[in-house]
Amino acid sequence: MNSRAPENVLIAHGHRLTEPRQRLIAILSQWPSRFSAGELVKAARKAEPPIGRATVFRTLGLLLELGIVERVRGADDSEGYVVARRGDHHHHLVCSSCGRVEDLPLCPVEGRLKELAAERRFQVQGHNLEVYGLCEGCVKADEK
């Protein structure tokens, strides 16, 4: 089966596949786009039976750590989450108009960054890049 399915990743890392977690994953898998912690808490509270706030945050942290969910920050420093669509290194193109998040699989930083940091004797461990602008749809809407 799909070893990248959240349920399997959870188990592979020695976590239990509890009922609240499964239901939370189900909620997330249906999520259309970016969401905030509060939105997820609200959806979880509305579920039947409801999932507690603490569990939502704990599970969110777990999914974040396992790379199943990613934190996204928009141009205005707004925070949010998205369900990860790829497991490898990538970045995000965040639309500042509609909030949509696209993946940018090719990293425009690698290589160049290494040289720059080496000159400074800075030992790079990782980096985070968020690109913001207008997605194709919003550019068109803007032109009208």
Residues that bind a copy of itself (CB under 8 A): 71, 73, 75, 77, 93, 95-96, 102, 104, 106, 108-109, 112-113, 116-117, 120-136, 139
Q: Are 95 and 134 in contact (CB under 8 A)?
A: yes
Smallest distance, DNA to C-beta of residue 134, A = 23
Q: Quick check: helix, strand or coil at residue 44?
A: helix
Q: Which residue has the tokens 């912690």?
A: 37
Cβ atoms within 10 Å, residue 35: 20
C-alpha closest to that of 48 among 19, 69, 68: 19
Judged by CB under 7 A, the chain residues 94 through 133 that form the site for DNA are none
Position among 31, 43, 53, 109 found at the interface with DNA (CB under 7 A):
53
Judged by the rule CB under 7 A, the positions of this chain that interact with DNA are: 11, 15-21, 36-39, 41, 49-55, 57-61, 79
